[in-house]
Amino acid sequence: MDLPLLSALFAAFALLLYVVLDGFDLGVGALLLLPSDERVRDRMVDSVVPIWDGNETWLIMAGVTLLAAFPVAYGILLPAFYLPLIVMLLALGLRGVSFEFRMQTERMRRAWDIAFSLGSIVAALMQGLIVGGLIQGIAVDGEHFGGSVFDVFRPFCLLVSLAVLSGYVVLGAGWLHLKGTAALRAFAERILHTAVPAYLGLASVSTAAATLVQPQMLAAWSAHMTLLSAIALLFLLLAITLWRAIGGRSDGRPLFLGLALFVLGIAGLGVAVFPDIVPYRLSLWDAASSSQSQVFVLLGAAIVTPIVLSYSAFAYYVFRGKTPEQGWEI
Amino acid sequence: MSFDPAILARVQFAFTVSFHIIFPTISIGLAMFLAIVEGLWLKTRDPLYFQIYRFWLGIFAMAFGVGVVTGIVLSFEFGLGFAKFGQMAGPAIGPMIALEVLTSFFLEAGFLGIMLFGLNRVGPRLHFFATCMVALGTLFSASWILSANSWMQTPDGVAVQNGHLVVTDWLKVIVNPSWLYRLPHMLAAAYITGSFLVSGVGAWYLLRGEHIEFGKRTVSMGMGFATVLIALQVFLGDILYGTMLKYQPAKMQAAEGFWDKQSESPAPYYWIIVPDQKSQRNRFALGTPYLGSIWLTHSLHGRVEGLGNTPPDLQPQMGIVFYGFRIMYGIAILMFSLAVASLWLRWRGRLFSTRWFLRILVVMTPSGVLATLGGWYVAETGRQPWVIYNILRTADAVSPVPAGVLLSTLIAFVCVYALFMAAFLIFAGRMIKRGPKDAPAYAEASGSLKPALKPGMANGATRNAAVTE
Ligand code: HDD
Ligand code: HEM
Ligand code: HEM
């Protein structure tokens, strides 16, 4: 059996779940800056507070799978993205504690909300920078990172980071469209009307720019022309459907279409860089740890992941439906 | 100005991990306490237990929140600051931490929402189940991470093949020689920390004459747990001492403060030393005569081995190890004495009215956290210069990140974490000052909170107050 491939699939699965799940709660966070009505902000936070921790745990899962199964890649990528990662971790930290601390104070709640929002925005931007950096390529020297930690701050990466942020905002607004009543739902609709075109535009420009900054991307397009074109076309179609679903009878449709957009985006990226784990430099197989370590992780994952997924789904189920106007009571 | 990236990476790791461990210690301890209290509430239907649960749940939630976000930082720090350590140790500790994420972090996260916000939605029984799952998650988490860390202290079950580590026997990696002794010591530390936290706050209320029933019940429970656990801890610590003496003699040599290969006879037990690592001697040392021989060799005239038995380039910094050990050990002695006193006072029926005792309990509120930090400094500094004992040196493990960048991010961590700590202390202090809110009367009668917490009937508890309580 091809163990490194399976491990890579599991890492990609964890990353995908992270992006779509934490994507919407980061998006909600990013939007928290806008409403001036404190009750609306309370509802927004309430809608994600019972589940955000589980969402973020998928980030740890992805990172740790990399450590366990592809230690060489881990040791190259983390120093390469040292700055965006540290900033992202601090931003996620600020945002994470704001969940607890904003409830403790009436007077300073606005300040914590701002911290919450900036934390979400900065975390999203940093994740985008990292994706951009991966696409553009990083310098590798033997088994070590050979570039400068500042390499990642390049125009292309900044473009991708905006695309990711706008995508998260679409997801966040889609979530509020699902969970919000009256005022909150109206707010979500307004946001979606601007965020969807912005996301579509930024994603298309980034895709085009990628082929300019990285010749390998152009090569990937010519190698997988039909597949990548199909993904791009589907992306466009879904984005239009999403646009038309805003304010429609189905509360959930914008969110699910938004999630589908993300799945497509990641699939496209996967097709383009496969089978490299450090794009254009190191393939999965070259970075993999010995098979004993792979087996251990995969066996554990195969047994435990279904259980994790089922009780996580249960947690979502417990807090299903519209977020109550008076909040969750303990 | 030029800094050594290796030193900065170590300081950054030490700072972030020390900050992190404060919160897990509290959340492991409080999670178990909450599970016990909720179980007692379901069994007895005594609303006082529900009141205690709600009060400590608020503080638990904040500690947990800070624990989560600082922990996420650590899981990346293996690669950020110590890339070569990640590459080398990844095949061994990576899978263990992956299993930790799967078996414990998800468990905690999945049920935390229900524990904090779901009582009204799932009813008391399922809610109790959620509390138990969170407590179990913290226990699993401690087991895996201690297994990973113990493997770094006493590596086993691996071979090095062309520069990469290969696991030869997973059982030996997980059940490595020190894990079975270190895990119970750490768990007991966390439960002791929780017990003193709970007792200290209860004692404060008793001293102020407020929330008397709450204070009495929590002091009684807290000191009850603490008494059993500290006796156990002294025993476990002693075994651990013997284990580490066997595997890492330099660590225990540093912890006792002697430099000569053999100390004089009889050996004193040092309390204060000013070590001079360069010239391999103490500039100043103060101790109790004979006590060193008696405690460490169990004889009147025994000699104690000093750090001189280890070549200087393989020695840890004596000062940190020594004082880490003294802090932990000193607090252990204090706790033990208090436990004995509490038994006596309980027997005489004066546990809740002896003011000097209650005052000491208040002072001891954070003592578990301090002892825990002391213990970790012994464990981690004492194994230097190795990051994986006898396999990889710390200095060889550092990432290719420039010193200036490391320094800037270190400063950023210090600023942001200071904010977290300040907010945590202010809000926890406020909660404690405000005191527990009365439990809804319904809790007693029906055993179900649904009627008690229906909107508009919630004893005037507003939404924000309800979460704070
Ligand atoms: C003895 C216990 C212990 C020790 C030594 C550590 N931790 Fe920890 N950690 C916990 C006990 C714990 C916990 C009790 O499980 C926490 C605390 C609060 C929480 O949410 O879970 C936690 C949280 C926590 C989280 C967030 C989990 C989540 O999202 O729910 C991560 C990623 C880590 N830790 C990682 C680490 C790493 C990489 C460590 C080593 C350097 C480390 N922890 C030391
Ligand atoms: C949570 C309690 C812990 C505390 C308070 C703690 C404390 C420390 C300290 C003070 C250092 C710096 C030592 C020095 O350089 O002199 C250190 C280093 C380190 N520790 Fe721990 N540690 C803890 C747990 C862990 C765990 C559970 C792991 C791994 C599973 C770990 C892995 C490391 C690594 C990789 C280093 C970096 C190398 C080094 O600086 O020696 N630590 N820790
Ligand atoms: C007589 C009492 C005690 C003795 C003899 C003792 C002994 C030890 C020793 C030898 C170590 C170092 C282990 C290593 O290098 O890995 C240690 C570590 C530690 N101790 Fe203690 N200890 C005692 C009491 C306590 C108390 C009261 C607490 C906290 C409430 C505590 C918390 C810790 C922690 C958290 C560690 C680091 C984790 C570990 O290495 O397992 N200890 N202890």
List of chain A residues whose C-beta atoms are within 8 Å of the C-beta of residue B84: 75, 144
Amino acid at B37: V
Say which residues have a Cβ less than 8 Å from residue B139's Cβ, sequence separation at least 6: B28, B32, B104, B187
Say if the Cβ atoms of A330 and B453 lie within 8 Å: yes
DSSP state of B262: B
Q: Is B17 in the pocket of ligand 1 (CB under 6 A)?
A: yes
Q: How far is CA B333 from CA A119, B231, B256, B323, in A?
A: 44, 10, 16, 15
DSSP annotation string for A246-307: TTSS-SSHHHHHHHHHHHHHHHHHHHHHTTEEETTTEEHHHH---HHHHHHHHHHHHHHHHH
DSSP state of A329: -
pLDDT of residue A181: 80
Residues B385 and B405 in one domain: yes
A293 touches chain B (CB under 8 A): yes
Asked if B382 and B248 count as a contact pair (C-beta separation under 8 A), the reply is yes
**Digit-coded pLDDT (tens) for A46-64:** 888 888 888 888 889 888 8
Q: Specify which residues A282 forms β-bridges with.
A: A278
Residues B286 and B425 in one domain: no
Angle at alpha carbon of residue B85, lines to B83 and B91, rounded to 5°: 110
Is residue B135, in this structure, part of any structural domain at all? yes
pLDDT of residue A1: 67
Mean pLDDT confidence for B294-307: 77
**Tokens (6 digits) for A2:** 């091809």
How far, in Å, CA of B187 to CA of B372, rounded? 10
How far, in Å, CA of A203 to CA of A184, rounded? 27
B468 — pLDDT class (breaks 50, 70, 90)? very low
How far, in Å, CA of B100 to CA of B167, rounded? 18
Task: Give nearest CA residue, ligand 3 atom 5.
Answer: B237
Would you say residue B466 has pLDDT above 60?
A: no
Tally the residues of chain B. 469
Say which residues have a Cβ less than 8 Å from residue B419's Cβ, sequence separation at least 6: none
**Alpha-carbon Rg of chain A, whole angstroms?**
20
Residues B76 and B118 in one domain: yes
Q: Is B466 in the pocket of ligand 2 (CB under 6 A)?
A: no
Is residue B224, in this structure, part of any structural domain at all? yes
Asked if A47 and A193 count as a contact pair (C-beta separation under 8 A), the reply is no
Alpha helices in A32-103 (DSSP H): 38-48, 52-69, 71-80, 82-101
Burial B428-467 (b: 16+ CB within 10 A, else e): beebbeebbbbbbebbbeeeebeebbeeeebeebebbebb
CATH classification for the domain delimited by A3-318, as one of 1.20.1630.10, 3.40.605.10, 3.30.420.40, 3.40.50.150: 1.20.1630.10
B397 — pLDDT class (breaks 50, 70, 90)? confident
Residues B70 and B105 in one domain: yes
How near does any CA of chain A get to the CA of B186, in Å? 23
A330 — pLDDT class (breaks 50, 70, 90)? low
pLDDT of residue B463: 37
Of B288, B305, B322, the domain-final residue: B305
Q: How far is CA B268 from CA B127, B264, B298, in A?
A: 55, 8, 13
Nearest to B464 among A74, A75, A103 (CB): A103
Say if the Cβ atoms of A143 and B87 lie within 8 Å: yes
Q: Domain total for chain B?
A: 2
Of B360, B268, B381, nearest to B317 (Cα)?
Answer: B381
Is residue B464, in this structure, part of any structural domain at all? no
- Residue B266 preceded by cis peptide, ω within 30: yes
How far, in Å, CA of B108 to CA of B101, rounded? 10
Q: What mean pLDDT value characterizes chain B? A: 85
- Tokens 């022309």 correspond to A225
Q: Average the pLDDT over each of A205-219, A230-244, B199-213, B267-281 and give the range with the smallest value.
A: B267-281
- Tokens 């284990």 correspond to B243
**Digit-coded pLDDT (tens) for B94-126:** 889 988 988 888 888 888 888 888 888 888 888
How far, in Å, CA of B34 to CA of B56, rounded? 7
Strands B164-167, B269-276: pairing kind: unpaired
Amino acid at A209: A
Residues B224 and B263 in one domain: no
Would you say residue B386 has pLDDT above 90?
A: no
List of chain B residues whose C-beta atoms are within 8 Å of the C-beta of residue A99: 65
A294 — pLDDT class (breaks 50, 70, 90)? confident
Is residue B376, in this structure, part of any structural domain at all? yes
B370 — pLDDT class (breaks 50, 70, 90)? very high
pLDDT of residue B449: 53
Of B274, B305, B336, the domain-final residue: B305
Would you say residue B279 has pLDDT above 90?
A: no
Q: Is B105 in the pocket of ligand 1 (CB under 6 A)?
A: yes
A303 — pLDDT class (breaks 50, 70, 90)? confident
Q: How many other CB atoms are found less than 10 A from the CB of residue A225?
A: 10
Would you say residue B271 has pLDDT above 70?
A: yes
Residues B198 and B296 in one domain: no
Amino acid at B16: T
Q: How many other CB atoms are found less than 10 A from the CB of residue A85?
A: 26
Residues B79 and B220 in one domain: yes
- Domain range for B289 is 258-305
Residues B436 and B292 in one domain: no
Mean pLDDT confidence for B46-66: 90
Residues B173 and B295 in one domain: no
Helix (H, G, I), strand (E, B) or coil at B118: coil
Asked if B468 and B431 count as a contact pair (C-beta separation under 8 A), the reply is yes
pLDDT of residue B458: 37
Would you say residue B462 has pLDDT above 70?
A: no
Higher-pLDDT residue of B54 and B464 is: B54
Which residues form ligand 3's pocket by a CB distance below 6 Å? Answer: B 153, 182, 185-186, 189, 192-193, 233-234, 237-238, 240-241, 244, 251, 328-329, 331-332, 335, 368, 371-372, 375-376, 378-379, 382
Helix (H, G, I), strand (E, B) or coil at B273: strand
Of B270, B305, B340, the domain-final residue: B305
DSSP annotation string for B56-92: HHHHHHHHHHHHHHHHHHHHHHHHHT-HHHHHHHHHH
Asked if B143 and B183 count as a contact pair (C-beta separation under 8 A), the reply is yes
Strands A276-278, A282-283: pairing kind: antiparallel
Mean pLDDT confidence for A172-194: 87
Say if the Cβ atoms of B69 and A60 lie within 8 Å: no
List, as ranges, residues 37-66 from A with C-beta within 8 Å of B: 42, 49-51, 53-54, 56-57, 59-61, 63-65
Pocket test for ligand 3, best of B338, B378, B380 (most atoms within 8 A of CB): B378
Task: Measure CA of the first residue to CA of the last residue in chain A; give whole Å.
Answer: 49
Distance of CA B92 to the CA centre of its chain: 24
pLDDT of residue B306: 76
Q: Is B191 in the pocket of ligand 1 (CB under 6 A)?
A: no
How far, in Å, CA of B52 to CA of B57, rounded? 8
DSSP H helix total and E strand total for chain A: 13, 4
Would you say residue A154 has pLDDT above 80?
A: yes
Pairs from B430-434 (Cβ < 8 Å, separation ≥ 24): B430/A104, B431/A104, B431/B55, B431/B58, B431/B59, B431/B468, B432/B59, B432/B201, B432/B204, B434/B468
Say if the Cβ atoms of B401 and A96 lie within 8 Å: no
How far, in Å, CA of B179 to CA of B150, rounded? 5
**Tokens (6 digits) for B19:** 């900050």
**C-alpha torsion sign, points A2, A7, A13, A16:** negative
- Tokens 């010239």 correspond to B279
pLDDT of residue A108: 83
Would you say residue B450 has pLDDT above 70?
A: no
Q: What mean pLDDT value characterizes chain A? A: 86
Would you say residue A328 has pLDDT above 50?
A: yes
Higher-pLDDT residue of B1 and B62 is: B62
Is residue B466, in this structure, part of any structural domain at all? no
Q: How far is CA A305 from CA A13, A61, A200, B68, in A?
A: 11, 11, 33, 20
How near does any CA of chain A get to the CA of B468, in Å? 6
How far, in Å, CA of B39 to CA of B268, rounded? 49
Asked if A322 and A46 count as a contact pair (C-beta separation under 8 A), the reply is no
Residues B167 and B262 in one domain: no
Q: Please tell me the number of the ligand nearest to residue B256's CA.
A: 3
Would you say residue A22 has pLDDT above 80?
A: yes
How far, in Å, CA of A95 to CA of A113, rounded? 9
Asked if B143 and B105 count as a contact pair (C-beta separation under 8 A), the reply is no
Q: Specify which residues B282 forms β-bridges with.
A: B275
Is residue B465, in this structure, part of any structural domain at all? no
Say which residues have a Cβ less than 8 Å from residue B335's Cβ, sequence separation at least 6: B192, B196, B226, B230, B364, B367, B371
Say which residues have a Cβ less than 8 Å from residue A108's Cβ, sequence separation at least 6: none
Helix (H, G, I), strand (E, B) or coil at B277: coil
Would you say residue A44 has pLDDT above 50?
A: yes
Tally the residues of chain A. 330
**Tokens (6 digits) for A209:** 């720019």
Residues B224 and B367 in one domain: yes
B444 — pLDDT class (breaks 50, 70, 90)? very low
**Digit-coded pLDDT (tens) for A64-101:** 888 888 888 888 888 889 999 999 999 999 998 888 88
Mean pLDDT confidence for B422-448: 74
**Digit-coded pLDDT (tens) for B2-30:** 678 888 888 889 999 999 999 999 999 99
Of A47, A87, A76, nearest to A145 (Cα)?
Answer: A76
Q: Specify which residues B270 forms β-bridges with.
A: B287
How far, in Å, CA of B172 to CA of B168, rounded? 9
**Digit-coded pLDDT (tens) for A253-287:** 888 999 999 999 888 888 888 787 777 777 778 87
Higher-pLDDT residue of B302 and B177 is: B177
A106 touches chain B (CB under 8 A): yes
Residues B353 and B315 in one domain: yes
Instruction: Provide the whole-model pTM.
Output: 0.87
B459 — pLDDT class (breaks 50, 70, 90)? very low
Mean pLDDT confidence for A150-175: 91
